[in-house]
């Protein structure tokens, strides 16, 4: 029901905020647990929300040198959207750490055309060049964190918008129940359900 959805949205926003806080405090193991809780619990995430949280967890796993787990989350995100820039970047960097530089360069060369954001295109181009020059491909911690903060800001805004929508619907339902008499309740509720389903 509406009440359950409202509670889930509040819980997800709180948990995401906690997860991001511990990530930024370099408590990556704790961050992974919290991101996993959001992904595993029934929060009815949209694909775009799931992608952001998968990439957050992949980034935390990368920082802990859990490269195979990082690859798995990147692949899951790319399955949902093959143009996910963060997943493309992280997957390639994880492959490099697993001594699969040629595979990383091939991945980046294949996907660079699908990336929409010019900033990410520049990062991928630089990573390709660094890897081909046999220098260690690097993306500064500051740059990674700024990406995480920007993407999570958008996600939190989405969650807040959803909370606002749920508040309006709850108000409408309460208002209808308050203003309709008992004989008219069934007809008014049926008209609401038909209009909301259209």
* CA dihedral sign of residues 173, 179, 183, 188: negative
- pTM (2 d.p.): 0.68
pLDDT digits 0-9 by tens, 124-143: 888 888 888 875 555 554 45
- From 106, 96, 91, select the one nearest 61 (Cα to Cα): 91
**Torsion from C-alpha of 75, 80, 83, 89, nearest 10 degrees:** -30
Position 180 confidence tier, pLDDT thresholds 50, 70, 90: very low
Characterize 58-82 residue by residue with b for buried, 16 or more Cβ atoms within 10 angstroms of its Cβ, and e for exposed: bbbbbbeebbebbbbbbebbbeeee
pLDDT digits 0-9 by tens, 85-107: 899 999 999 999 999 999 999 99
């Amino acid at each position: 029901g509406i009440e359950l959805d409202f509670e889930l949205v509040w819980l997800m926003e709180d948990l995401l905020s906690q997860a991001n806080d511990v990530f930024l405090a370099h408590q990556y193991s704790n961050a992974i647990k919290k991101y996993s809780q959001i992904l595993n619990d029934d929060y009815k995430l949209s694909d775009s929300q799931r992608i952001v949280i998968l990439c957050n967890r992949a980034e935390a796993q990368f920082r802990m040198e859990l490269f195979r787990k990082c690859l798995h989350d990147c692949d899951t995100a790319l399955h949902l959207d093959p143009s996910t820039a963060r997943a493309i970047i992280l997957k390639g960097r994880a492959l490099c750490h697993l001594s699969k530089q040629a595979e990383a360069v091939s991945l980046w060369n294949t996907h660079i055309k699908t990336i929409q954001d010019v900033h990410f295109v520049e990062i991928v181009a630089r990573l390709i060049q660094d890897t081909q020059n046999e220098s260690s491909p690097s993306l500064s911690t500051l740059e990674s964190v700024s990406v995480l903060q920007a993407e999570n800001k958008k996600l939190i805004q989405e969650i807040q918008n959803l909370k606002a929508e749920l508040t309006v619907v709850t108000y409408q339902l309460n208002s209808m129940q308050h203003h309709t008499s008992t004989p008219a309740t069934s007809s008014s509720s049926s008209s609401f359900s038909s209009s909301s389903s259209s």
